[in-house]
């Protein structure tokens, strides 16, 4: 019978590829259905061993669904870092690297001034906010990155496909590989941080809101090099993301396995995870639905002290000042940042007034396609990971 086994596996593989993709988009089901789904998921495990088996299946489904299985070859980053500006306690540089040959990830690199020893590295993906200063160029994102750098972190703030410099150079966010490219870009962004001589590879964090929150929990779930994650206003059991870059590929459901973003966020266990939620969007139920589910997973590891939720019932969607104030102490605690000179002991607030908000033109990595390396892919190109 042994000779039949390869044929059986080939048949199973063919059937899997032939299966029509099941896409869980936006409000795919109701809040009540989400609660019922979490109960079904919880029934698949009752021990740490069973959860680890489940977690591996979920990870595999995400990678297969996003067409990142097997993981692409890690080709040279060929990083370009230039135009350093010095400010109060930190510097900013324009930076880009190749996630795959000819496909660039654009961003800004924030580094602390006058710090000794290795620094933690923090990735800051952004959400879908548009405008002349949208995405990573927004003042709220600049404030987040600058404050973390002033406390000793090396921070990389980077574009989604079709935002910021990516949009400026001709890429469209409706690119059919958006989810694939952004997930792979985040994994390569960890490689980029690790390639910097001053970064402590054991202290890598990531935080983003909205679409950046999706990138945050996907990266933390797939890449165990992420030591700390803070997804903001995005972890919901009933909402799967409203953009193809979040829910346009079959990562949440197949004929053999169902999952949702609450479970995907819990893949970070037992590493520190903080959920920041609000009453004004799809994270309104986090304190009574998504957070308890995450706690149930962390309990398997004896790590309940590593998972937190801060909920703002009167706030709306975004990563405004009050939410950053909830994120900072978590990063300080778990990445061993130095809050001296930034945290006001009297008010308990982290000072952002010393940050400099830069103009868009200053933050550009390339002014035009003519300034890019000759081998750079043309905007809209299909990226091959063979």
CA pair distance 276, 273, nearest whole angstrom? 10
3-class SS of residue 138: coil
- CA distances from residue 104 to 56, 75, 78, 219, 329 in whole angstroms, order as listed: 30, 12, 10, 18, 33
Give, as one character, the DSSP assignment of residue 227. Answer: -
CA nearest to 203, candidates 230, 226, 229, 221: 226
Rg of the chain (C-alpha set): 21
Report how many helices (DSSP H) and strands (DSSP E) the chain contains, helices first: 12, 11
Domains of the chain: 80-347 (3.40.50.1820)
Q: Residue 295 is inside which H or E element, if any?
A: helix 290-300
Element (H, E) at 78: none
- Do residues 245 and 211 touch, judged by C-beta distance below 8 A? yes
Phi/psi of residue 289, nearest 5 degrees: -125, -70
d(CA 275, CA 265): 9
- Sign of the CA dihedral running 204, 209, 215, 216: positive
pLDDT at 5: 46
Secondary structure class of 213 (helix, strand, coil): helix
CA distance 161 to 206: 18
Each residue's pLDDT, cut to its tens digit, for the chain (386 residues) gives: 444 444 444 444 444 445 788 999 999 999 999 999 999 999 999 999 999 999 999 999 999 999 999 999 999 999 999 999 999 999 999 999 999 999 999 999 999 998 889 999 999 999 999 887 899 999 999 999 999 999 999 999 999 999 999 999 999 999 999 999 999 999 999 999 999 999 999 999 999 999 999 999 999 999 999 999 999 999 999 999 999 999 999 999 999 999 999 999 999 999 999 999 999 999 999 999 999 999 999 999 999 999 999 999 999 999 999 999 999 999 999 999 999 999 999 999 999 999 999 999 999 999 999 999 999 999 999 999 86
DSSP state of 279: T
The half-sphere exposure of 114 on its side-chain side, counting CA atoms within 13 A, is: 5
Name the 3-class secondary structure at 211.
helix
């Amino acid at each position: 019978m042994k000779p039949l086994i390869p044929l059986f596996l080939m048949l199973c593989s063919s059937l899997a590829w032939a299966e029509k993709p099941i896409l869980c988009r936006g409000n795919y089901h109701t809040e009540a259905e989400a609660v019922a789904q979490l109960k079904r998921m919880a029934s698949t495990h009752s021990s740490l061993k069973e959860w680890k088996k489940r977690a591996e299946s979920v990870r595999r489904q995400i990678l297969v669904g996003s067409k990142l299985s097997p993981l692409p070859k890690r080709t040279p980053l060929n990083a370009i870092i230039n135009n350093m500006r010095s400010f109060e306690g930190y510097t900013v540089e324009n930076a880009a690297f190749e996630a795959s040959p000819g496909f660039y990830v654009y961003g800004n690199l924030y580094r602390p001034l006058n710090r000794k020893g290795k620094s933690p590295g923090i990735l800051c993906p952004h959400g879908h906010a548009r405008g002349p200063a949208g995405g990573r160029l927004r003042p709220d994102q600049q404030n987040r990155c600058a404050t973390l750098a002033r406390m000793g972190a090396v921070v990389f703030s980077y574009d989604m496909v079709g935002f910021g410099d990516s949009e400026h150079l001709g890429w469209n966010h409706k690119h059919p590989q958006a989810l694939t490219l952004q997930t792979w870009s985040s994994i390569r962004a960890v490689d980029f941080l690790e390639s910097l001589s001053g970064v402590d590879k054991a202290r890598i964090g990531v935080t983003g809101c909205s679409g950046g929150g999706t990138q945050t929990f996907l990266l933390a779930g797939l890449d165990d090099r992420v030591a700390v994650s803070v997804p903001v206003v995005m972890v919901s059991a009933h909402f799967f993301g409203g953009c193809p870059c979040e829910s346009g590929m079959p990562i949440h459901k197949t004929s053999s396995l169902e999952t949702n973003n609450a479970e995907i966020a819990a893949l970070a266990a037992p590493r520190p995870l903080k959920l920041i939620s609000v009453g004004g969007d799809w994270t309104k139920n986090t304190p009574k639905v998504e957070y308890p589910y995450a706690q149930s997973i962390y309990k398997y590891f004896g790590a309940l002290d590593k998972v937190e939720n801060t909920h703002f019932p009167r706030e709306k969607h975004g990563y405004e000042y009050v939410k950053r104030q909830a994120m900072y102490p978590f990063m300080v605690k778990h990445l061993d940042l130095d809050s001296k000179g930034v945290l006001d002991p009297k008010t308990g607030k982290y000072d952002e007034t010393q940050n400099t908000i830069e103009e868009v033109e200053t933050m550009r990595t390339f002014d035009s396609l003519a300034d890019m390396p000759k081998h750079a892919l043309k905007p809209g190109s299909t990226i091959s990971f063979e």
